[in-house]
Each structure stands twice: as structure tokens, then as C-alpha cells.
A and B are shown apart, each in its own frame.
Chain A
Amino acid sequence: MKQRILCAGFGGQGALLIGKLVVTAGMIEGKHVTWLPSYGPEMRGGTANVMAVISDKPVGSPIFTRIDTLVALNQPSLDKFLPQVVEGGMVLFNSDLCDKGASKNGICIVGIPLNKFGEQVGDIKASNMVALGALIELTGCVENKTVQDDLKHMLEKKNPTLLARNLEALEIGRKFVVESAQ
């Protein structure tokens, strides 16, 4: 098993955190992981992306140009990285910010209204957690429970309100994928 996941969006949308939480879960499950952000001017509100690898074997290159799963939080990210998604790969995009949508043969494409769901749980910032829930369900690269436990470990004492919101967002994302698969 080797999953090369690219998460991209505007700076501040939380693309890097999606990648971080998924590789942390991978690490907890004993897998080999790398997390490589684009850094520098991107940190100042431009576009941000992260390359995450989760694998059974040690990870050689943390850089890749062939994407197994793309998480695109906005249209420019979708346009830029869609061509790099491999056959049999998956794309998860934010349908609230990608009017044009996406199409490519041989890959599974899921549009999900992340902003709407984020607002639904009380904070648009939680939309990346919705994406994370969907990503985990879609790829199965880590267990949902591992991510939940990790979030609990981080937030239970520090910020229980945020934890509850994030867990709810995670679940919405997961359910969305389950339901759209039916």
C-alpha cells in the first residue's frame, strides 16, 4: 500500500493540516509517512499545498508528480493538479469554490460542498475537517478512529468545543462519501 495524497487550497483553508492529520494517523498505525509542504511566500495568503505519503515501506521520495488522491479546496488547485492524478486515482474537491467542476476519465471524482458543511457545524474553518473525513472514507489509507483519537488527544483538555466541532465535521465528510457511493 502506498498513497500519495496532495492537498491544496488558498493559504488559511487548512490544506496543510489535512495532510498533517492524515500522516499522523498513518504514523500511529505504524506506517511510513512523509509530509512536505510548499513553503515561503505561500504562507502569506497565496496558495498552499502539501504532499503527503503513507506507505507500508520506507518512503523514498517525498516529492511526487503522480497523485493517487487529490484534495482540492479551490478551483486553481483543481485545475493545476488534476492532470497529475493517476488512473484509478481519486479527486475530492470543494464544490462551493470550484464552479467549473472537474472531469477526467478513469478516476473517481467527488465534489463536496465544504464551505456549506463548515458553516453547518458553526465555523467555515472546520471545512477542512469535513474534507479530512471524506478523504479517509474515500481512500481507507488510515482508520477513522485513529484520526478521532488523535484529535481527542490533542484537544480534549485544551479546547473541547473545537474538538466536538471537528469530530462532527469529520463525520459529515465521512457520511457524505458513504451516501454518494450508494
Chain B
Amino acid sequence: MGEKILMKGNEAVAEAAIRAGCRHYFAYPITPQNELIEYMAKRMPQVGGTCLQAESEVAAINMVLGAAACGVRAMTSSSSPGISLKQEGISYIAACRLPAVIINVQRGGPGLGNIAPMQCDYFQATRGGGHGDYYTPVLAPSSVQEFADMAPEAFDLAEKYLTPVLIFADGLLGQMMEPVTFEDDYGPQSDKSGWSLGCRKGRKNNHIINSLFIDPYVLKEKTEELFKVYDTIVKNEIRYEYYNVDANPKILVVAFGTVARVVKTAIDELKDQGLEVGLVRPITLWPFPYKAVKEAAKKVEKVITVELNMGQMEQDVRLAVGDTCPTQVIGKAGGVVFTPMEVISMLKENLA
């Protein structure tokens, strides 16, 4: 473990990706993720890697597709409007069963929106995002350290299940500085010689990577295979954090990423006032921790989803809670991040 360095989230995740063996990064500038591409532009030449500023987000994701098909750790990053442009490529990468990492440093939407931190791409992120029947694992960090740690994790997941993996941050986590440490060694990459292109070295048969299955029965089979993989991911990879759930709270909050941090501060201050609130923080948004939310909901009077959008994750929370107890959503548009005071007063209204 190295020494603590004060870094922006955008820089920390880039550094962690490089330390995890990523040497191929393709992206297009967009606020608030510019520090990421700029950091890569500076660092990649120092480690003999490639940082290429593509002509568009569409081109960037397809460069990732090409590099990933050749068996290297490839990554791209963008912010909301740019992630929309990448969806075509992400769908192909998912269908071709290629490992790749995509980072969304979310901003306000819809349309050009603004550059403030938001969580309004939740539906897009957790429901595949592009065309076709597929999902991508979605990791949602809540601190700069966690943002950084998720780079090697995302590559490992991507290679384990041969799928694109999305790291789902926001402008605040990208711009904020916190102390961060990096592991000295992030472990080996998986062997990709069984399917990758271009390193034939005496291999007799050529490798073909393809997502076209013109025969409906073949496409059916291929899609069912894909969903068997998703079943395994759902079984093995769900991650979440419980906070103050054991304190017999009357209310349970579900929040992720930036918002979960603010809620934690609110919970601590309410505790000082003798009021108990619990928090489930989903760390994987797909697969979503339905069971964990349901379990925690059994002991409370109400479940409140707090998110920086008009209510998207709350649909998953309602699926999880069912008729166990009433639910409510506190959402906010525009990229105005909740303050602890705001959350405290909203929770107090419910505790009265």
C-alpha cells in the first residue's frame, strides 16, 4: 500500500486504471470528466500506453471495442450526453462478449442539461442502455478512494464475465479531492488467448468476433447464454453497504453514490438528537441488492429513496420492498446536491 495522495476522483480512477494494467484509453472531452482524459494524456506516454482523443464518443467506444477484441485492458470515459453516444458500441461490446470499462461522470440532463452532479442516468445505466437484450454491471462509488478502487475491480469483473462494466460516478466525485492510496499490485489479468484477435502465434484456426446471428434460433440461443452469465453475476456480485441498520431505525433510506454520503452525515446528526435512521447504500446498481433492501425494510415503518433525479432508483426500491412497508421518494432535479440540513429536515418530517 502506497502513501496517501490528495487527488480528484477523475484523476484517481485514471491512475488506478493504469496501475491495474490499462494501457489503452480512448475518449472525447466533456465536462465534468475532462481531468480524466487530461490525466491519461499525461500519464499514458510515461507508461508506454495509448491515450487517444477520438473524433467523437462514438469513435472512442469503437476504438475500445477494437482494442478489447485484441485482448488488452481498454477503457473509455465520458459524461452523460457522451455516454448516450456510446450506447451503440456498448451494446456491440456486450453482444460480442468483450471485457471493457466505461466510466460515466454524470452531469445534469436531459439534453445538454448542465455540468452539475446528477444521478439521472440511472435508468440508462441499469437497463443495458443501448439496443437489445442485455445488462452491464454498474458500480457506484461514494468516495474518491472507492472510485479509484473500482477501476481494477471493474476490469476483473469485465474479464471474469466477458462483459462491459460501467463505473457510475458523478460530477461531484469527479471534481472532489480526497486522500487516496493505491495498491502496489492489482493481480494478474486473465488469459485472453482463447478468443482474442491478432496474436495467432501458430494457432491453427482463425478467431472470429461477431454479434450477427441471422438465424433467429441461433440468436435465441446466444441471448439465453448471455442471460445465464447474468444469472451468475446476480448470484455472485451484488454489493451494498448497511449503515445504522442495526440501531432499530424507524426509517430506512436507500441512496447511492454522492447522495449516500450526505445521508450518512444526516444520520449521524440525527443520532446525536436521539433519532435513528438506517441506510442501505447499493454499491452495484445492476445487479441491484433487492434482497438486502427487503430484509432491512422488514424492521422499519417506511423506506425513503433519496436520489439526484426525479425518482429512478425508487422503482427498484419499490420492487424490493413490495408491500412490506410504505415507500417514498425524495428526488431533486437540476444538479442541486442535497445538503445534510435539507436531508435532516426531510427525515425529521417523517420521524414526527
Q: Give the interface of A toward B (CB within 8 A).
A: 20, 23-24, 27, 32-37, 39-40, 59-66
Contact = CB atoms under 8 A, between A and B. Distances in A.
A60 B175 contact: no
Given A34-B177, A36-B172, A40-B115, A64 B6 contact: no
A64 B340 CA distance: 7
B31 A40 contact: yes
B36 to A, nearest CB: 14
A65 B341 contact: yes
B177 A35 contact: yes
Contacts of A60: 261-266, 268, 340
Interface string B172-212: 10011111000000000000000000000000000000000
Residue among B176, B177, B266, B341 facing the most chain A CB atoms (10 A cut-off): B177
Given A34-B177, A60-B264, A61-B265, A24 B339 contact: no
A89 to B, nearest CB: 15
A62 B173 CA distance: 10
Contact of A33 (B175, B178, B263, B337): B178
Contacts of B265: 60-61
A86 to B, nearest CB: 11
B176 A33 contact: no
Residue among A35, A37, A40, A60 facing the most chain B CB atoms (10 A cut-off): A60
Interface residues of B, number: 25
Nearest to B267: A60
B128 interface: no
Contact of A39 (B4, B175, B337, B339): B175
A33 B177 CA distance: 8
A39 B32 contact: yes
A39 B341 contact: no
Given A60-B268, A61-B265, A33 B179 contact: yes
B99 interface: no
Given A61-B340, A64-B340, A40 B32 contact: yes
Contacts of A61: 261-262, 264-266, 339-340
Contacts of A33: 6, 178-179
A34 B178 contact: yes
B171 interface: yes
